[in-house]
Amino acid sequence: MNSKTLSGDAIRRFENAADYRKRFVIKEQIDKYFPNGKHFVNEAEIFSTLDTAKKKTANDPVRIREILAKSRRIETLQLDETADLLQVTDPDLLAEMGETALAIKKSVYDNRIVMFAPLYMSNLCVNRCTYCGFRCENDQQKRRMLSMDEVKQEIEVLAGKIGHKRLIAVYGEHPETSTDYIAETIQTAYRHIVESPKGTPVGIRRVNVNAAPLPIEDLRVLKKVGIGTFQVFQETYHRETYEKLHPAGTVKGDYNWRTTCFHRALEAGVDDVGLGVLYGLYDWQFEMLALLSHTHDLEKQFGIGPHTISMPRLEPASGTDLPETSPYLINDEIFKRIVLITRLSVPYTGIIVTCRERPESRNACIQYGITQMDASSNIAIKGYSDFESEGHQEKDRQQFVLSDTRTLEQMIAYLGKKDIITSFCTAGYRCGRTGGCIMDALKTGKEGKFCKINAVLTFREWLDDFASADTKAICEPVINRELAEIEKNLPLFSKTVKEHYDRICNGERDLFF
């Protein structure tokens, strides 16, 4: 089957379909998460906390060091603590905050960056988000949804030629591409095992999903087919701005339905959830405290905070000028500050910075404790199999424009030169180390040990299957140093690790702890 291309009318036809909206905005699956009828984002409290922090003496080293000590204990910060960090301007204190952020990242996640790739399955969308190239009234966008054969073709490039093991599958919101389609594409991606250039079997081992909020029953379906992280960006937590940018009458126009999407996911057993704000839509300091309130509420109601926090920033997109005209756009300095203070505020969480960012900005963020990056990314629908040259972009087939077009190999070599190991580990989720279980393991440093071992094993696989001689030369010392550290610091595991490692060197694949 070829991918389906729909006309503008066919897309818009669903816009006001009352049935579709009714099925997807279920009042009982919203209200139950607001005990006492109160929303967990308390705007008045956030504004007053920010006001108080601005009036205090900024740069008070005693107060700031107390807060940093709490972050080092891997405890989530309170709103007033994060608000105080936001006011720091003193270069020495800022440097101390940076060192602490990196030290926390190392203690929780060790010296590694996990790599993934986005796979856009469909750009059909019934919504009208004013900043997005996929919004239904944008006639400049060529619409299509991948058929299962096309999903396989994309996997052949992603897994077979580039060497990715972990995807974020991305979907517009549309009845044609809802839960059944999401489930089928996930299963197709998992089942399609292909050959690497060296003839070894390779495939996708973890499929995370970035899609619209779903009802509990639908999330159970995704849980059954092995969804990794369920990622939904709130875009903005500021209700008035949210309602302005997401018109009433659209499914996405319901603020409460979106803000409770992770409550439903956790109730459905999808316990790795990925939060995010689209920075540039509203005041960044407000957004940071609101995202922290969201984190507190998930911790309080489910004992599980965000598995990841993503840092998307508004980028140019077809048919909209908001990414150039929004009064809330942030510069690189502020972006780095957001990454740094997120690391300090929610110390156990994974932090994702994607190819939306320019290379210099992404490189700098590595120093502030990010844990996941994508590379060789192509976000055009069917972009991987249609365009041979990596880095090729088609504005009318993609949601926005990417700024970092480095290949996976270039990225790995860059990290290798900085002594950082690239990981393709997907073992946590396959061994049941998710949700509350992984949260405890991360806070106590146990997960870091498994991660270190699995990073070495999966990096060995990638180097043997995909790396050029030059990249290997850069990365062998990194992997050898990691092996030596395992031998020294994890003596109980060291013998089995060495056995697994040797088996991988001899061509076996997918061995993990």
Residues of this chain that interact with ligand SF4 (CB under 6 A) are 125, 127, 129, 132, 134-135, 172-173, 252
312 binds, among ligand SAM, ligand SF4, none (CB under 5 to 8 A by kind): ligand SAM
Tell me the number of residues near ligand SAM by CB under 6 A. 21
109/262 with CB nearer ligand SF4: 262
How far is CA 382 from its chain centroid?
Answer: 21
Q: Which does 211 bind (CB under 5 to 8 A by kind): ligand SAM, ligand SF4, none?
A: ligand SAM
Nearer to ligand SAM by Cβ, of 82 and 210: the residue is 210
Q: Of these partners, ligand SF4, ligand SAM, none, which one is at the site of residue 278 (CB under 5 to 8 Å by kind)? A: ligand SAM
User: Closest separation between CB of residue 173 and ligand SF4, Å?
Assistant: 5
Total number of residues shown for the chain: 513
Shortest approach of ligand SF4 to residue 323 CB, angstroms?
13
Q: Please say which residue, 173 or 374, places its beta carbon nearer to ligand SF4.
A: 173
135 vs 460 by CB, closer to ligand SAM? 135
**Residue 349-388 contact track with ligand SAM, rule CB under 6 A, x = bound:** -------x--------------------------------
Residues 45-51: contacts with CB under 8 Å, at least 24 apart:
45/79, 46/79, 46/286, 46/289, 46/290, 46/293, 47/286, 49/79, 49/80, 49/83, 49/289, 50/83, 50/86, 50/285, 50/286, 50/289
Which are the contacts of 62, defined by CB distance < 8 A and separation ≥ 6? none
**DSSP annotation of 251:** G
Q: Which of 46, 232, 298, 483 binds ligand SAM (CB under 6 A)?
A: 232
CA atoms of 52 and 443, how far apart (whole Å): 30
Buried residues in 337-372 as b, exposed as e (16+ CB within 10 A): bbbbbbbbbbbbbbbbbbbbbeeebbbbbbbbbbbb
Q: Are 178 and 161 in contact (CB under 8 A)?
A: no
302 binds ligand SAM (CB under 6 A): no
29 binds, among ligand SAM, ligand SF4, none (CB under 5 to 8 A by kind): none
Return the number of other C-beta atoms located less than 10 Å from residue 326's C-beta.
Answer: 16
Q: How far is the CB of 369 from ligand SF4 (least distance, A)?
A: 27
242 is a site residue for ligand SAM (CB under 6 A): no
Nearer to ligand SF4, 130 or 367 (CB): 130
Q: What is the DSSP letter of 250?
A: S
Q: Does 317 bind ligand SAM (CB under 6 A)?
A: yes
Q: How far apart are CA 399 and CA 396, in angstroms?
A: 8
If the CB atoms of residues 262 and 368 are measured against ligand SF4, the closer one turns out to be 262
| Interaction pattern, residues 170-209, with ligand SAM; x per rule: CB under 6 A | xxxx------------------------------------
Hey, is 154 helix, strand or coil?
helix
Is 212 a residue that touches ligand SAM (CB under 6 A)?
yes
Shortest approach of ligand SAM to residue 213 CB, angstroms? 7
Nearest partner of 254 among 38, 17, 24, judged by Cα: 24
Alpha-carbon distance of 454 to 110, in angstroms, equals 12
Strands (E), 316-401: 350-352, 372-374
Per residue, the 3-state secondary structure of 421-443, as one string, reads EEECCCHHHHCCCCHHHHHHHHH
Query: For 466, phi and psi rounded to 5 degrees?
Result: -130, -20
Whether 186 contacts 227, CB under 8 Å: yes
Is the Cβ of residue 251 or residue 291 nearer to ligand SF4 in the bound state?
A: 251
Shortest separation between residue 97's beta carbon and ligand SAM, angstroms = 27
Smallest separation, CB 120 to ligand SAM (Å): 7
Task: Tally Cβ neighbours within 10 Å of residue 85.
Answer: 23
At 278 the three-state DSSP class reads: coil
**Are the C-beta atoms of 324 and 401 separated by less than 8 Å?**
no
- Distance from C-alpha of 477 to C-alpha of 480, rounded to nearest angstrom: 5
135 touches, from ligand SF4, ligand SAM, none (C-beta below 5 to 8 Å by class): ligand SF4
**Could you tell which of ligand SF4, ligand SAM, none binds residue 210, using a CB distance below 5 to 8 A set by kind?**
ligand SAM
Please, what is the minimum distance in Å from the beta carbon of residue 26 to ligand SF4?
Answer: 18
Contact status, residue 250 vs residue 128, Cβ threshold 8 Å? yes
209 contact choice in ligand SAM, ligand SF4, none (CB below 5 to 8 Å, kind-dependent): none
Would you state the structure tokens that stand for residue 21, as one six-digit string? 């909206």
Q: Which is nearer to ligand SF4, 79 or 170 (CB)?
A: 170
Phi and psi (nearest 5°) for 354?
Answer: -95, 180
Instruction: Name which of 124 and 478 has its Cβ closer to ligand SAM.
Output: 124
Stretch that binds ligand SAM, among 21-29, 313-321, 408-416, 458-466 (CB under 6 A): 313-321
CB 173 within 8 A of CB 149: no
Q: Which residues here bind ligand SAM, judged by CB under 6 A?
A: 131-132, 170-173, 210-212, 232-233, 235, 278, 312, 314-315, 317, 323, 356, 399-400
